[in-house]
Amino acid sequence: MSIEAWGTLATVAVVLATLIGTRIPSDVVLLGGLTLLLVAGIIEAEDALAGLASEGMVTVGVLYIVVAGLRHTGGISFLVEGLWGRPKSLINAQIRIMAPVAALSAFLNNTPVVAMLVPAVNEWAKKHNFSVSKLMIPLSYASILGGTCTLIGTSTNLVVNGLLVDTTDLPGFHMFDIAWVALPCALVGITYILICNRWLLPERKPVMSQLEDPREYSVEMLVEPGSPLVGKTIEQAGLRHLTGMYLAEIDRDSHIMPAVSPQEELRGNDRLLFVGIVGSVVELQRIRGLKPATNQVFKLESPRQKRCLIEAVVSDSCRLVGQTIRDAQFRRVYNAVIIAVARNGVRIRKKVGDIILHAGDTLLLETTPDFSDQQRNSRDFFLVSKVEDSNPPRHERMVIAALILIGMVTAVTLQWLTMLQAGMLAGGLMIITRCCTASVARASVDWQVLLVIAAAYGIGRAIDVSGAAIAIATELTTLAGGHPHITLAVIYGLTMLFTEMITNNAAAVLVFPIAIATAGDLQVSPLPFVIAIMMAASASFSTPIGYQTNLMVYGPGGYRFTDFLRIGLPLNLIMWVMTVIITPLVWPF
């Protein structure tokens, strides 16, 4: 191998060792490795920066905007409750996630499926008090396993099938041909995850916890007449197991109902008193059919969709101290409405308007984002801070957001548009139809994930152009000694190794010509080798950088690099053995 090839492999080794052995953010590590390759002259600037123009990276970016539109119209919450419901155990929750995700990924590209469901899983895990780290890797792995089952489930299958048609006289595969191998692998893989996740997946608590936030608010919410909540029990409405919050009582026609039964049916105009932390108040805001019980909210000048929640601590010099909130005319003075009051962990048993303000009270306000800037240096408040992601959902636009999503999926499935074209069109429509604002769209993009994808693509280009990939591939195939089954195992292992280090499509493209040439030398059919490449390039489980969906759950799941290695390496080996055994039975040499 050339000096450039050895330098590339050394850089890749350092990058992998740093990702495994430290907690330095993955984007910093990968960009650092790419910088070394660029400065050393191993890779040219256009190759190093090619990842920034990668269709896959841009597609992931625009899908974040599509997801933002769904989330800000309440569509994600609706999807979660309709698709997953209320699980009885962690295993049950994992089955409810993996089964539909694997099925969806067989007919939709698995990357947008995961992009849409990551925030939904995060929200669902918090709501039902599951560790999000127990659900994110199963989400990614299920999408990968399902995506291998059809020709359109993953872009890798399409790329490899295109190479087969272009470079040989063979007709290519049909939609479900690969399912003969991929479906048994998917069933065994999902079973393995369900059985072994207890020991191999980390147990990390959800970000929201009662112990993390000592401020306990009492907040009143009103059940809107005619809303979907009317006629449902407390449990059916999803109000029983709110994380960090509980339903203390119901005020129905001035009759107080304490210790509410989970089977109590909700009625229109019921006033529900919840006690809990600020993050759970945000969760209440997203439930369709609930609105703040105070009428003052509807007297604010700005539209409700432009408001947010803000916390403010009352100072001892505030001129309203000692007055009730109603008498102080708080809304008129500050153009903000008090939703709830927290006072030293003590529950205040009064309606919001009757509470007498004390110095040190923490107020939860519904107002415009400008309030934070206007009052930050005011003597009336010690501290003013915006509650993140607290804008009220635009439930009235949920149908529009759903139609945009369905249109995007239909256009891609029927091959009217590419995934990038459909994603960009859908993202633009989300903004144009006001399902989300431009500022929300910008804030929704996870730039760390995109940088990791772009950097990994650049490093993959370095492995290619330096000659390292071809040199390693040639040596490994020589070791097979001319035996078709051994050669098939080597081709799979080689593709799997490259996929874990670079990207799935790049690994498939690199190994494909070697596989075809090897089949010609052995005078056997190339189809078993092509199937092996399809499976190995997609079935990437042991590193977060091997597949885009792994990267997408890496941060939200709070994982470390070794978490993927621990549960993913055995799964890689299982897929390897099963593919090498089953493939020659369906496509003989």
Same domain, 30 and 170: yes
Contact yes or no for 506/460 (Cβ under 8 A):
yes
Q: Tell whether 42 and 181 lie within a shared domain.
A: yes
Instruction: Please tell me the distance from the alpha carbon of residue 8 to that of residue 466, in angstroms, as a whole number.
Output: 7
Cα distance between residue 533 and residue 491, in whole Å: 7
Report the C-alpha gap between 227 and 219 in whole angstroms.
Answer: 20
Please name every residue paired with 276 in a beta bridge, in sequence order, or none if there are none. 217, 245
pLDDT value for 297: 55
Pair 149, 75 in one domain: yes
Domain count, the chain: 2
Helix (H) or strand (E) holding 310: strand 308-314
Place of tokens 């593919």: 579
Shared domain for 72 and 160, answered yes or no, is yes
Does 21 share its domain with 80? yes
Sign of CA dihedral 564, 567, 570, 575: negative
Measured CA to CA in angstroms, residue 142 lies from 113, 149, 561 at distances of: 11, 11, 19
**Looking at 363, 386, 409, which one is the last position of a domain?**
386
The answer to whether residue 393 sits within a structural domain is no
Please say whether the beta carbons of 297 and 304 come within 8 A: yes
Q: Are 45 and 163 in a shared domain? A: yes
**CA separation for the pair 419, 577 (Å, rounded):** 33
Does residue 264 lie within any of the structural domains?
Answer: yes
Q: Domain span at residue 267?
A: 211-386
Q: Quick one: 30 and 165 in the same domain?
A: yes
- First CA to last CA across the chain, in angstroms? 32
pLDDT for 193: 93
pLDDT at 56: 66
In degrees and rounded to multiples of 5, residue 262 shows phi and psi of -60, -20
pLDDT tens for the 589 residues of the chain, in order: 788 889 888 988 888 788 777 778 778 888 899 999 999 998 888 888 887 877 767 877 887 788 788 878 877 666 666 667 778 888 988 998 899 889 878 876 677 678 768 877 877 787 777 888 899 999 999 999 998 888 777 777 877 887 788 777 787 788 788 899 999 999 999 999 999 888 888 876 544 443 344 567 778 888 888 888 888 888 878 777 666 677 878 888 878 887 778 888 888 888 888 877 776 777 777 777 887 776 655 556 566 666 788 888 888 888 888 888 888 888 888 888 888 888 876 767 777 778 888 888 888 888 887 788 788 778 888 888 887 766 667 777 888 988 998 888 788 777 788 777 888 999 999 999 988 888 888 887 878 777 877 887 787 778 778 887 777 667 766 777 668 888 899 989 988 987 877 667 767 777 787 788 778 777 888 899 999 999 998 888 988 877 878 887 887 888 888 889 899 999 999 999 999 999 999 998 8
How far is residue 492 from each of residues 182, 184, 517, measured CA to CA in Å?
14, 17, 15
Give the integer Cα–Cα distance in Å for 502 and 505. 9
**Residue 305: exposed, middle, or buried by beta-carbon count in 10 A (0-12, 13-18, 19+)?**
middle
- What are the DSSP calls for 272-301, one per residue? EEEEE-HHHHHHHHTSTTEEES-GGGGG-S
Match 């042991």 to its residue by tokens. 542
Query: Does the residue 124 lie in any domain?
Result: yes
d(CA 408, CA 422): 5
Decide if 441 is inside a domain: no
User: Is residue 13 located within the same domain as residue 140?
Assistant: yes
Report the C-alpha gap between 426 and 65 in whole angstroms.
Answer: 8
Q: Which of 533, 582, 548, 544 is nearest to 186 (CA)?
A: 582
Rounded-to-integer distance, Cα 241 and Cα 247, Å? 9
Q: How many helices (H) and strands (E) does the chain have?
A: 24, 9
Is residue 420, in this structure, part of any structural domain at all?
no
CA distance 369 to 385: 10
The pLDDT, as a whole number, for residue 431 is 92
Q: 162 and 261: one domain?
A: no
Count of positions (residues) in the chain: 589
Does 307 fall in a domain? yes
Q: Which of 353, 386, 419 is the last residue of a domain?
A: 386
229, 175: one domain: no
> What's the pLDDT at 572?
93
Q: Collapsing DSSP states into helix, strand and coil, what is residue 247? A: strand
Alpha helices in 108-167 (DSSP H): 110-127, 136-147, 155-167
For 340, phi and psi rounded to 5 degrees? -160, 160
Give the CATH number, domain containing residue 366.
3.30.70.1450
- Please check whether residue 101 is in contact with residue 59, taking contact to mean a CB–CB distance below 8 angstroms: no
Q: What is the pLDDT of residue 206?
A: 41
Please check whether residue 546 lies inside any domain of the structure. Answer: yes
**Pair of tokens at residue 244:** 């960090």
Q: Does 33 lie in the same domain as 127?
A: yes
Distance in angstroms (rounded) separating the CA atoms of residues 234 and 241: 10
Of 386, 404, 419, which residue is a domain's last? 386
CB 528 within 8 A of CB 489: no
For residue 464, being part of any structural domain is answered with: yes
368 and 456 together in one domain:
no
